[in-house]
Amino acid sequence: MGQSFHPDQIAVLVVEDDALLRAEAVDLCIEAGFTTHEARTADQAIRILEHHPEIRVLFTDIEMEGSMDGLKLAHAVRERWPPVAILITSGRRMVTQADLPENGLFFAKPYPPDDIVAALNAIAARIAP
């Protein structure tokens, strides 16, 4: 018998400085059944990760204000929280696999919502207890 999972057992942290895009990404994750946290900057994201060990997915934009961009945040998260899966998006920068942290996935904006949901469900199925 295969394992079943409940998306709401796996939390996603959405990091996006644009309020409208952040709200859309958060709504997408919630509608897919995932518990969702949100941050406007990398610094905020780090603080949230420190207080919410249930977060298993980082979904971040690259370009944002603050001490680091989304790529630097993704690498910092990979180093400090290795189990956290990483999804990165940008409408202005194209990245190569070499730019991404290990096992990171890149989605160019505007990304198809179904692709994000499929990636989240694949991650959830892989890490479900």
Tens of pLDDT, residues 83-112: 999 999 999 888 889 999 999 999 999 999
Q: What is the pTM of this model?
A: 0.92
In this predicted structure, what is the pLDDT of residue 1? 34
Q: What is the CATH number of the domain that holds 67?
A: 3.40.50.2300
- Asked, for residue 44, whether it belongs to a domain, the answer is yes
Contact 42, 68 (CB under 8 A): yes
Give mean pLDDT, residues 107-125.
94
- Asked, for residue 1, whether it belongs to a domain, the answer is no
In this predicted structure, what is the pLDDT of residue 19? 97
- Asked, for residue 27, whether it belongs to a domain, the answer is yes
Q: What is the pLDDT of residues 9-43, one digit of tens each?
A: 789 999 999 999 999 999 999 999 999 999 999 99
Residue 78 — very low, low, confident or very high, per pLDDT cuts 50/70/90? very high
- Asked, for residue 2, whether it belongs to a domain, the answer is no
DSSP string for 37-96: EEESSHHHHHHHHHH-TTEEEEEEES--SSSS-HHHHHHHHHHH-TT-EEEEEESS----
Count the domains in the chain: 1
Domain that holds residue 70: 7-127
